[in-house]
């Protein structure tokens, strides 16, 4: 089979492409514009890991360029599309919202249009736990209303879910949105807390913790995320409930929403202590007030995805952090 993956040089995209390309009967086309939101050297290092894989090739392109992406999609004729490319980051979205409109709104429209012109068997796209905003109840379940995001990033991801639903309803496109919960692991993004905290610990700087370190996060290892994506990808949705709020009438559209998380939130202060122990460092903490746009707690209700595809996270945080620290020491020389 043929799979097109956007954001192939990104954190999750890299791990997914590596897993897919290692499969004997799977050809993978990666699309990535190698944006400089964080150091491109890390993206190139990931791609260097993929280079020996005969079943993988990369095209450097911006998927928001509608005509170019349409031609790439049509020329490759994928059986499946996994759209992971996006402008990420909750806090950066308050500083540069235009970047999120370009990648997350205009870019996703470009992907939808290409898939409408030549429908794959299934389009799976990245959403985020950030869509759960004000009024969300823990654990977060997909049938909760997600109409009050507290970050612009979350708003763009919720917009993606609604856009996908409309294309499924109007054009019969099989779509599944996946709400990721705080993904971590080797080759992780440098703007995310595991790398930020590890650098501070190694350099002897205070670790900054918002909300005095009391925020809880549902840390999910990237291997579990990839397992979930593969299970979801191979089973397109049947017509049925759309993932809209429960008070809305179910629409006969082949569109659904799934959480992918771990369902075991950890307080950030404890997370730092675990990292410090694995790194052999003493943690210095700088306790700060809550940060605008941050959720106090995230926790994934996995009932729906477990029932649909049998997803169950396997990597314990202790084991996952140990593997992350091994990679961190190797890559950053700590």
Judged against a pLDDT cut of 60, whether residue 113 lies above it is answered with: yes
pLDDT (tens digit per residue) in 137-171:
999 999 999 999 999 999 999 999 999 999 999 99
Share of the chain above pLDDT 90, in %: 90
Return the C-alpha torsion angle 92, 294, 160, 310, nearest 10.
130
- At residue 95, the pLDDT reads 94
Residue 256's domain is classified under what CATH number? 3.40.50.720
Distance CA 196, CA 310 (A): 33
Q: Work out the average pLDDT over 38-44.
A: 98
Structural domain contains residue 290: no
Domain count, the chain: 1
Which domain covers residue 59, as residue numbers?
Answer: 2-184+222-262+299-314
* β-strand pairing of 216-217 with 266-267: antiparallel
Asked whether residue 145 is assigned to any structural domain, the reply reads yes
Q: Is residue 248 over pLDDT 80?
A: no
Q: How confident is the model at residue 239 (pLDDT cuts 50, 70, 90)?
A: very low
* Residue 258: inside a domain: yes
Predicted confidence (pLDDT) at residue 102 exceeds the cutoff of 60: yes
| Alpha carbons 12 and 88: distance in angstroms, whole number | 12
Instruction: Of 15, 28, 5, give the one whose Cα is nearest residue 225.
Output: 15
153 catalytic? Reply is: yes
Distance CA(93)–CA(98), nearest Å, equals: 8
Mean pLDDT across 204-212: 96
Q: How far apart are CA 88 and CA 43, in angstroms?
A: 14
146-182 burial, b at 16+ Cβ within 10 Å, e below that, comes to beebbbbbbbbbbbbbebbbebbbebebbbbbbbbbb
Structural domain includes residue 206: no
The proportion of the chain whose per-residue pLDDT surpasses 70, expressed as a percent, equals 96
Check 132, 153, 167, 184 and give the catalytic one. 153
> 123 lies in a domain?
yes
pLDDT at 295 over 90: no
CB 189 within 8 A of CB 11: yes
Confidence (pLDDT) at 91: 87
For residue 303, give the H/E element and its range: helix 303-309
For residue 201, being part of any structural domain is answered with no
**From the CB of residue 206, how many other CB atoms can be counted at a distance below 10 Å?**
12
**Residue keyed to tokens 């993932």:** 243
Residue 133 lies in a domain: yes
The total number of residues shown for the chain amounts to 334
Q: Give the pTM.
A: 0.94
Residue-level pLDDT at 251: 52
Name the band, by pLDDT with cuts 50, 70 and 90, for residue 252.
Answer: low
Query: CA angle, corner 127, sides to 90 and 40, nearest 5?
Result: 60
Helix and strand numbers (H, E) in the chain are 12, 13
> Going edge to edge, which strands form the sheet with 56-60?
56-60, 27-32, 2-6, 80-83, 122-128, 175-180, 255-260
- Give yes or no for residue 245 having a pLDDT over 90: no
Among 57-71, 138-152, 283-297, top mean pLDDT goes to 57-71
> How sure is the predictor about 241, in pLDDT bands with cuts at 50, 70 and 90?
very low
- How far apart are alpha carbons 262 and 271 in whole angstroms? 15
Mean pLDDT of 251-262: 90
**pLDDT at residue 13 greater than cutoff 80:** yes
For residue 240, the model assigns a pLDDT of 43
Identify whether 45 is part of a domain.
yes
Q: How far apart, in whole angstroms, are the C-alpha atoms of residue 139 and residue 261?
A: 11
Of the listed ranges 39-43, 111-115, 179-183, 289-293, the least confidently predicted one is 289-293
């Amino acid at each position: 089979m043929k799979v097109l993956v956007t954001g192939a040089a990104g954190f999750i995209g890299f791990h997914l492409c590596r897993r897919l390309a290692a499969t004997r009967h799977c050809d993978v086309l990666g699309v990535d514009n190698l944006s400089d939101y964080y150091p491109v050297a890390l993206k190139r290092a990931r791609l260097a890991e993929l280079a020996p894989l005969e079943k993988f090739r990369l095209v450097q392109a911006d998927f928001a360029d509608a005509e170019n992406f349409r031609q790439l999609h049509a020329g490759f004729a994928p059986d499946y599309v996994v759209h992971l490319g996006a402008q990420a980051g909750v806090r950066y979205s308050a500083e540069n919202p235009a970047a999120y409109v370009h990648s997350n709104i205009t870019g996703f429209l470009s992907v939808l249009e290409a898939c409408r012109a030549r429908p794959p068997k299934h389009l799976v796209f990245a959403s985020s736990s950030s869509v759960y905003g004000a009024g969300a109840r823990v654990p977060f379940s997909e049938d909760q209303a997600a109409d009050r995001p507290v970050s612009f990033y979350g708003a763009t991801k919720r917009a993606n879910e609604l856009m996908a639903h409309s294309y499924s309803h109007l054009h019969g496109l099989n779509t599944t949105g996946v709400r990721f919960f705080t993904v971590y692991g080797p080759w992780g993004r440098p703007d995310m807390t595991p790398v930020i905290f590890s650098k501070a610990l190694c350099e002897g700087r205070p670790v900054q913790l918002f909300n005095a370190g009391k925020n809880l996060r549902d840390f999910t290892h990237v291997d579990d995320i990839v397992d979930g994506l593969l299970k979801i990808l191979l089973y397109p949705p049947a017509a049925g409930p759309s993932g809209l709020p429960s008070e809305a009438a179910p629409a006969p559209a082949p569109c659904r929403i799934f959480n992918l998380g771990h369902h075991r939130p950890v307080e950030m202060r404890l997370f730092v202590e675990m990292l410090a122990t694995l790194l052999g460092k003493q943690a210095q903490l700088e306790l700060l007030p809550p940060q605008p746009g941050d959720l106090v707690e995230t926790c994934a209700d996995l009932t729906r995805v477990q029932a649909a595809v049998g997803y169950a996270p396997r990597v314990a945080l202790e084991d996952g952090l140990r593997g992350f620290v091994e990679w961190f020491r190797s890559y950053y020389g700590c």
